[in-house]
Amino acid sequence: MAHRRSNEDATARALEAVLPEGAAITDPDLLVSYRHDQATGADAGQPAVVVFPRTTGQVQAVMRIAHSRQVPVVPRGAGSGLSGGANATDGCIVLCLDRMDRIREMRPADGYAVAEPGVINQRLRDEASTHGLLYAPDPASREWCTIGGNIATNAGGLCCVKYGATRDAVLGLEVVLADGRVTSIGRRGIKGVAGYDLVGLFVGSEGTLGIVTQARLRLRPLPPPPPTTAVALFPDLVSAGRAVEAIMLTTTPSLLELMDATTLAAVERFQPMGLDTSAAALLIAQSDLPGHAGEREADAILSAYDAAGATESYRSRDAEQADALLTARRLAFPALERLGAWLLDDIAVPRSRLTETISGIERIAADREVVIGTFGHAGDGNLHPTIVYPHDDPDAAHRAFAAFDDLLRLALRADGTVTGEHGVGLIKRHVLADELDLVAQSLHDTVKHALDPGGILNPGKALPLRR
């Protein structure tokens, strides 16, 4: 123990020597805040030091020291992750990038912005909007999550159904590798196919392959306000699933969201707004097309609702009503979170398996005797079943974690994935080997070893756990 402490102290002194004053902290009382992200049930170690670089050169200096000493490095943004991907390991360097927060360029004519990893998602969206442009990825945590964290997990959001996830918005990256080398990959234009898609490889790699220090991000024309919102209530999940399939066969809404009966009841208790809690499901869709085009798209969505068996369907009368309806959806997780301890999942399945999956979730809730509220991005099959159980009840916690694993395997049986946008991190690593075949697992190992042969970048995260 004394030898380890001596090595940690020597690493901290080496980092302090290459970083500005105050950019490295070792005070145990301060380190506690950087041990873990927001995931429930994920182990977290005690870091030796937390560093706060402001430049790519400073990140390089940190990685050179870590590489020479073979010290693990855990990259971190705002700590808003939900998979344990930013959780510290004992004796590691936590590389906190939230002070690299400059928007370096805004290039409207070329359709992109250049941002550092610590830029808050909503800040970039706000800045783009002043130029009449849209940065599309909009995770629920957009008001505090960072671009670097979004890239690490390939974050999504409500608008994914039309505009794609973070990977679809990343044109290029500046990356510091495990040994301190820096590279610029990707392209400056909207189109380009030269070489392997290294950008796509790094997006979603959860900090296991390199440290993103700069990103070139695609911007799109900002849709004219207000969007047209179409809402429907359904007596059962089968009819809601039919509606989703029909809508996506004929239109491309800018969002298509689902809330089940448990979630509706939780939201109405949390913030009463007159929601019909007797419904089995609610669908909210929006069209961001301008004027009459948006109205026609909303009418097509309403027709699909009615044909599928909706008990009630209507279009928003004005922007205020549209905002209220969308607020109900955004309150889904906070409302469920208030009911007790929680485990939030983010499985994704083909849309044709959506109804089957939601029915399976209900069976799991009954079998494990836990409450599960399901909401999510129905348009791309990404669901967030949220398990709620009493605080300080070990038996209930055991059932909840068993239900969480049941949900992951339910998604795999439906030809889906264990994570649609939160990442594998720690909490899903044990099931990832069930999703990837042996050849795919070998490819993951090969890529990891090529870019990080010492295994110092975010060890124990994202990769399949060997059986």
In a domain, 356, yes or no: yes
Whether residue 142 is contained in a domain is answered as: yes
The answer to whether the CB of 398 falls within 8 A of the CB of 416 is no
Looking up residue 303, the CATH number of its domain turns out to be 3.30.70.2190
Same domain for 362 and 269? Answer: no
- Report the alpha-carbon distance of residue 332 to residue 311 in Å, rounded: 22
Q: How confident is the model at residue 467 (pLDDT cuts 50, 70, 90)?
A: low
Judge whether 452 lies within some domain.
no
- Do 407 and 376 contact (CB within 8 A), yes or no? no
- Say if residues 244 and 256 touch (Cβ distance below 8 Å): yes
Task: Give the C-alpha separation, 228 to 226, whole Å.
Answer: 6
1 pLDDT above the threshold of 70: no
120 and 50 co-located in one domain: no
- Based on the structure, what is the number of domains in the chain? 4
CATH number at residue 388: 3.30.70.2740
Residues 258 and 294 in one domain: yes
Q: Using only C-alpha atoms, what is the Rg of the chain? A: 23
Interatomic CA distance for residues 258 and 380, integer angstroms: 11
Question: Of 196, 221, 246, which residue constitutes the final position of a domain?
Answer: 221
Instruction: State whether 120 and 212 are in the same domain.
Output: yes
Q: What are 422-455's pLDDT values in tens digits?
A: 999 999 999 999 999 999 999 999 999 999 999 9
Per the domain annotation, does 434 fall within a domain? no
Listed residues 221, 241, 257: the one ending a domain: 221
Q: Are residues 83 and 109 in the same domain?
A: no
**Domain identity same for 52 and 112:** no
User: What digits encode the pLDDT tens for the residues 160-210?
Assistant: 999 999 999 999 999 999 999 999 999 998 899 999 999 999 999 999 999
Do 137 and 208 belong together in one domain?
A: yes
Q: Are residues 351 and 327 part of one domain?
A: no
Q: Are residues 323 and 242 in the same domain?
A: yes
Residue 131: give its domain's CATH number.
Answer: 3.30.465.10
Residues 176 and 266 occupy one common structural domain: no
Domain that includes residue 74, residue range: 2-96
Q: What residues are paired with 284 via a beta bridge?
A: 231, 257
Q: Is residue 161 part of a domain?
A: yes
Is residue 123 located within the same domain as residue 186? yes
Task: Give me the pLDDT at residue 396, please.
Answer: 97
What pLDDT score was predicted for residue 2? 62
Q: Is residue 454 part of a domain?
A: no
DSSP 280-348: SEEEEEEE-S-HHHHHHHHHHHHHHHHHHT-SEEEE-SSHHHHHHHHHHHHTHHHHHHTTSEEEE---B
Q: Examine the fold and report which residue of 197, 221, 245 is the final residue of a domain before the chain moves on.
A: 221
Give the CATH number of the domain where residue 56 resides: 3.30.43.10
- Asked, for residue 432, whether it belongs to a domain, the answer is no
Non-local (6+) Cβ contacts of 214 within 8 A are: 56, 104, 114, 115, 116, 117, 173, 174
Q: pLDDT tens digits, residue range 347-369?
A: 999 999 999 999 999 999 999 99
Q: Are residues 202 and 269 in the same domain?
A: no
pLDDT in tens, 235-269: 998 899 999 999 999 999 999 999 999 999 999 99
pLDDT (tens digit per residue) in 14-54: 999 999 999 999 999 999 999 999 999 899 999 999 999 99
> Is 148 inside a domain boundary?
yes
